[in-house]
Amino acid sequence: MSQPLKPATYAIREFHQNEDILAFHAEEFMLTGCTVIENLWNEAELAEFRTALDAIYTQQTAEIGGESQLAVIKDKNIARCLVSYDEVFLKMATHERILKLLTRLLGDYFILSLQNGIINLPNQPNYQTFWHRDLQYQHFTSSRPLAINAMTCVDNFNEETGGTYILPHTHHTEKFPSDEFVLKHQRVCNAQAGSVLVFDSMLYHRAGYNASQQIRRGVNTMYSLPFIKQQINLATATEYKYAADKFLSQFLGYDSDADANVQTWREKRIKRNLSQNL
Ligand SMILES: O=C(O)CCC(=O)C(=O)O
């Protein structure tokens, strides 16, 4: 990795050094709660994401009986569980660089927790523009991340279209900070389409207000340690179609769902033990 200008220091003996750019992203994530990976997707791939996302939203709106139904639960302009509708979103969720960073931060057993498409329409705030954590209603802190979000900027996130706002370090605080702190320390993450904002799911964040004339789409993919329940059961949503693939079946949570009864629990472990001892 090319060395940045060395900051002048005084009376310091120990320095953290990164062996590569991925290590820098991991360092930045651990210290602030957020890091941005730029240019992960090209224009052709982004065009594919846009078309697929819009089609899924149209399909899901029809499935539930129209937008008025979505309005009842304040779920307008959000498309859910994208991986089970179109494989381009599985490709998005399993980008090699993202998985490598997640392995550094979460270890080698994590699952896909949710994947939502956020369709941020011009001049129409929704509940995503309110501060929240993605592990909702939780007020404890953890020394290591429990879950991580990768927000793919499908369109440009900028001052006009509304970047994602974060409150740095707040994954390490229990309560939502004071109004004064929020106003002073909120930071907007603007990024070009194709970039990915990676942040701790406990970090307070919100969508920016879209004051432009264009739709601003993002896909929020959340990964978690396997003991955290998925928003939608991805084993049943994908009808176990990836069961033969060792990585995908673990990644989609086929192996981490609660077992139906004692016998199934034991049989699964016996089978696993026998295959490991072969
Ligand atoms: O669209 C954004 O910038 C943020 C979306 C968000 O807060 C979420 O999906 O949880």
Q: What pLDDT digit, counting tens, does each position of 53-84 carry?
A: 999 999 999 999 999 999 999 999 999 999 99
pLDDT at residue 25 in the model:
98
**186 lies in a domain?**
yes
Range of the domain at 102: 21-260
pLDDT of 163-188, one tens digit each? 999 999 999 999 999 999 999 999 99
Q: Which residues line ligand 1 (CB under 6 A)?
A: 116, 118, 120, 128, 134, 164, 205-207, 218, 220
pLDDT at residue 67 in the model:
97
Identify the band that residue 276 occupies on the pLDDT scale cut at 50, 70 and 90.
confident
**273 lies in a domain?**
no
pLDDT of 36-52, one tens digit each? 999 999 999 999 999 99
Residue with CA nearest ligand 1 atom 5: 207
pLDDT at residue 109 in the model:
97
Quick one: tokens of 150? 């990768």
Flag whether pLDDT at 126 surpasses 90.
no
**178 lies in a domain?**
yes
**82 lies in a domain?**
yes
pLDDT (mean) for 98-117: 98
**154 lies in a domain?**
yes
Closest ligand 1 atom to 134 CA: 10
Residue with CA nearest ligand 1 atom 2: 207
pTM of the model: 0.94
pLDDT at residue 278 in the model:
67
User: Residue 256 maps to which CATH number?
Assistant: 2.60.120.620
Residue with CA nearest ligand 1 atom 1: 207
Using alpha carbons, select from 199, 191, 147 the residue that is nearest to residue 169.
199
- Looking at the chain, the whole-number percentage of residues with pLDDT higher than 70 is 98
**274 lies in a domain?**
no
**7 lies in a domain?**
no
Three-state secondary structure string covering the chain: CCCCCCCCCCCCCCCCCCCCHHHHHHHHHHHHCEEEECCCCCHHHHHHHHHHHHHHHHHHHHHHCCHHHHHHCCCCCEECCHHHCCCHHHHHHCCHHHHHHHHHHHCCCCEEEEEEEEEECCCCCCHHHCCECCCCCCCCCCCCCCEEEEEEECCCECCCCCCEEECCCHHHCCCCCCHHHHHHHCEEECECCCCEEEEECCCCEEECCCCCCCCEEEEEEEEECCCCCCCCCHHHHCCCCCCCCHHHHHHCCCCCCCCCCHHHHHHHHHHHHHHHCC
**What is the residue-averaged pLDDT of the chain?**
95
Per the structure, how many domains does the chain have? 1
Closest ligand 1 atom to 164 CA: 3
Identify the band that residue 4 occupies on the pLDDT scale cut at 50, 70 and 90.
low
pLDDT at residue 244 in the model:
96
pLDDT (mean) for 141-154: 97
**59 lies in a domain?**
yes
Lookup result for tokens 């949570």: 253
pLDDT at residue 125 in the model:
75
Lowest mean pLDDT among 106-115, 139-148, 229-238, 255-264: 255-264
Using a 10 angstrom Cβ sphere, with 0-12 exposed, 13-18 middle and 19 or more buried, the burial of residue 25 is buried
